[in-house]
Structure formats: C-alpha cells, structure tokens
Amino acid sequence: MYEELKEEIKTCEGYVPKIYKCSEGFDTIFYGHKITPDDDYEHDIEYTKEEGEKVFEEDFKKTVEAAERLIGSRTINYIAKEVLVNMVYQIGEGGVSKFKNMWSALDREDYGEASFQMLDSLWAKQTPNRANKLAAKMRGAKS
C-alpha cells in the first residue's frame, strides 16, 4: 500500500547515507530522517541502503499515523490524503496542523482553496518546488 507515495517522498527527500545538516540545521540521514536521541548514528560513517530503507519504512508508518490523526473524521479523498502524508513527512504533524486555512478548506472539500492556502505559507517559500508539486496534486483532488 502507498508504494507510489513512498517513491514520491523518497524522490523529494533524496537519499544520503551519512549524517548531514538539513535546511533547518538538524542532523539528518537517509531519506530526511531527523536524528533523535534514540538513534546511534555517528558522523562520517556511511550506512547501508538496507538500513536506510528500514528507517524509511518506520518513518513512513509513523507519518501515516500522524496524518490520520490530523485528518480525524474529515471526509477527504485519497489524493488529498497522500498530499497530507507527504507534507507531514517533511514538516511534521505539528507543522501541518498549523495550516488552519488549508484545514478549513479541506473541511469543505474545497481542494482548490486548500491548494492555494498551502502556497500561502513559509513552507512554500522555503521549499517552493515541493510545495508547488504538492499544491498541484491537491488541486487535482476531486470530492
């Protein structure tokens, strides 16, 4: 399930087998995995793709759960849900929860307005390529 979405996120994130600093200054590895105190990765060590895939699968599972918490009882279609999962993977549940006007539009199943509200954000200014791609996908969602 979600195989195309997983590949879309991997393409957006890119793969790095060593620790690097993300645009927000956090230590990160693999497909945008933000290193936590529970992780035991070391700087200047290149980790295997197999390990990166395992971490991605766990991160993806947590991301879907977070997106589903945000969606709650809203009625939205699968395309909009995929957009939200992608956004949560990138900026987290807390970050996506702050898109109040987007959520209001989604409550009305107004995917065009939700798309507009996605682009009216700091996130869209910081990562315009990804934001534009996801906003276009959201615009294509139909109720």
Share of the chain above pLDDT 90, in %: 90
In 1-143, the DSSP E strands lie at 16-21, 27-30, 33-34
The confidence band for 1, taking pLDDT boundaries of 50, 70 and 90, is: low
Domain limits, the chain? 3-139
Mean pLDDT over residues 22-37, rounded? 91
Residues 6+ apart with CB under 8 A from 110: none
| CATH node for 3-139 | 1.10.530.40
Closest CA relative to residue 80, chosen from 134, 127, 120: 134
Q: Is the overall model pTM greater than 0.75, yes or no?
A: yes
Mean pLDDT of the residues in the chain = 93
Which letter does DSSP use for residue 23 in this model? T
Closest CA relative to residue 102, chosen from 80, 86, 72, 85: 80
Instruction: Specify the 3-state DSSP secondary structure of 109.
Output: coil
Which of the residue ranges 9-13, 23-27, 90-94 would you say has the lowest mean pLDDT? 23-27
- Give the tens place of pLDDT for each residue, 79-102: 999 999 999 999 999 999 999 999
Give yes or no for residue 36 having a pLDDT over 60: yes
